[in-house]
Amino acid sequence: MDKIILGLLILKSMTIYDIKKFVATYLSHSYADSLGSIQYALKKLLGANAIEFVTYVENGHNKKEYTITKLGMKMFKEWLEQPVNSRSSQKIDERKLFFLGLTEKKVRKKVLQGYIESLKQEKEQYQTIQKMVTEGTNDPIQEAFEQLKSDDLVKTRLESLLGDRTLYNGVEDIYHYQMSTLRLSLLEIDAQIHLYEELLEHENVRLN
């Protein structure tokens, strides 16, 4: 949240309610817009001298309007230009995408290239797992079934959830949905790679 606030304050000075409204309108799919989380981030940024505020009265109410400082600009720029190393920080990368237009072209290209490479590496890892499971010599469903039926405690737990399905049918369903989760991850990665490659191509054809 602190990086989002810094990015917003580059564009204009805001009150806490302005920030909350913006996050709720444009970023609520990824980030909480609670006043508590925003207040915490503002306190952290004030402590780091990244932002400052002025107090004024409007309709009889005291308000604070926050502005980014030179140090805050430096902190934001350094964060935005950091290379992307893995999908483990996906939310951070979404924030970078949102504000990437604030940076110069060479920085945008570097960030996009780094994220594409990271996603391709992640895709290879998922594909390796998928290949190990689907192309192995053993039947994964039969193998899982044999293991589960030999463990009375686990078998009892599963059977309490299976309803009128047999244990084998239950294992089939578990396998199907677990593999579907893997497929979903691959689809999401492909979609992200496609988007970032489009953005990179856009940068390559632009004159400046």
85-128 residue pLDDT tens: 555 545 456 778 889 899 889 889 988 998 899 899 999 999 99
Are both 25 and 114 inside the same structural domain? no
The number of distinct structural domains making up the chain is 2
Contact 80, 115 (CB under 8 A): no
Q: Is 21 within a domain?
A: yes
Average pLDDT score over residue span 63-77: 95
Q: Domain of residue 122: give its range.
A: 105-205
Q: Do 109 and 76 belong to one domain?
A: no
What is the pLDDT confidence band of residue 205, given thresholds at 50, 70 and 90?
confident
Percent of the chain with pLDDT over 70: 91
Same domain? 77 vs 23: yes
Structural domain contains residue 88: no
In a domain, 91, yes or no: no
- Note whether residue 72 is domain-resident: yes
- With 80 as the cut, is the pLDDT of residue 32 above it? no
Instruction: Examine residue 100 and state whether it is found in any structural domain, yes or no.
Output: no
**Given 15, 48, 81, which residue is the final one in a domain?**
81
Say yes or no: 109 and 186 in one domain.
yes
Helix and strand totals (H; E) in the chain? 9, 2
Q: What is the CATH number of the domain that holds 72?
A: 1.10.10.10
Q: Is residue 110 part of a domain?
A: yes
Of 33, 54, 36, 56, the residue nearest 44 (C-alpha) = 36
Co-location of 61 and 109 in the same domain: no
DSSP 85: -
Residues 71 and 153 occupy one common structural domain: no
